[in-house]
Amino acid sequence: MRFSCALTRLPGKDMASGITASNLGPPDHDKALQQFEAYVDTLRRCGLSVTVLEPLEGFPDAHFVEDAAVVLPEIAVLTRSGARARRGEVETVANVLSAYRKTAAIVPPGTLDGGDVLMVDNHIFIGLSERTNEFGARQLGNIVSSFGYTWTTVPVEAGLHFKSSVNSVGDKTLLTTSVFSDHPSLSAYERIVLAKNEEYAGNTLLINDHLIMPSGYTDTKEQLQRLNKSIIEVDMSEFRKMDGGLTCLSLRF
């Protein structure tokens, strides 16, 4: 799937109040803004038209816009996070996406975060995590099936979301942590397995023919260079402190 647009949101001054299991200390807001600006510039370098929303007061995780929707060429599915504190983020994202796609929504008792959804060609992996349950996965599966997609659920045994551990890097290849290196659901794909000390780099973002990866992961970069794609490194230190990564900061469509 090739992308032409992206939706992002500026991190608010209260971003340190967001949900995190990290022990890396609080993020520096000014530095996070600089990193966010570099991220948006990178999306534009990859040919995307980027919409930047203002911070959403009272929702310190709202800059992780990917969790609010799953956007396919045919439809945008609005999510319902398993984290109750984040459910108010969807409305403003929905208002923007409705100009580009017809929309559907996950409803109770279903929960779903966009960070648990990975589309590879015509197949959609749905991670079952603390944020995404069977009801939400089944609702999404029924929606995408009507457009000809196949789908599979995968239990998330480590990390916040499925895409914390598994991402497509093109050429029928997945970048995975060791937890998913031999997972039977991924057997149809080539896999690049991350070194244990570089697992954060598993959240690498494929934009058209470019791979955007967090900076500072030399072993992972060396492995990705074999794919003969343009590699762009972006500093993500402040977002990592809040359990966020490159895919989290945008919705691409």
Q: What is the pLDDT of residues 16-74, one digit of tens each?
A: 999 999 999 999 999 999 999 999 999 999 999 999 999 999 999 999 999 999 999 99
Mean pLDDT of 143-161: 95
DSSP code per residue over the chain? ----EEEEEPPPTTGGGS-----S-PPPHHHHHHHHHHHHHHHHHTT-EEEEEPP-TT-TTTT-GGGGEEE-SS-EEE-B-SSGGGGGGHHHHHHHHTTTS-EEE--TT--B-GGGEEEETTEEEEEESSS--HHHHHHHHHHHHTTT-EEEEEE--SSSSGGGTEEEEETTEEEE-GGGTT-GGGTTSEEEEPPGGGGGGG--EEETTEEEEETT-HHHHHHHHTT--EEEEE--HHHHTTT--TGGG-EE-
The reported pLDDT for the residue numbered 125 is: 98
Of the pLDDT bands very low, low, confident and very high (cuts 50, 70, 90), residue 76 is very high
The reported pLDDT for the residue numbered 22 is: 94
Asked about 63 being catalytic, the answer comes back as no
For 153-164, how does the pLDDT look when each residue is reduced to its tens digit (9 = 90+)?
A: 999 988 899 999
* % of the chain exceeding 90 in pLDDT: 98
Mean pLDDT of 132-161: 96
Tell me the domain boundaries of the chain. Answer: 5-252
The reported pLDDT for the residue numbered 11 is: 98
The reported pLDDT for the residue numbered 1 is: 85
Q: Which of 46, 63, 161, 210 is catalytic?
A: 161
Q: Which of 46, 63, 210, 248 is catalytic?
A: 248
The reported pLDDT for the residue numbered 223 is: 98
The reported pLDDT for the residue numbered 192 is: 98
Mean pLDDT of 151-178: 95
Asked about 161 being catalytic, the answer comes back as yes
- pLDDT of 230 above 90: yes
**Architecture, CATH, for domain 5-252:** 5-stranded Propeller (3.75)
The mean predicted confidence, pLDDT, of the chain is: 97
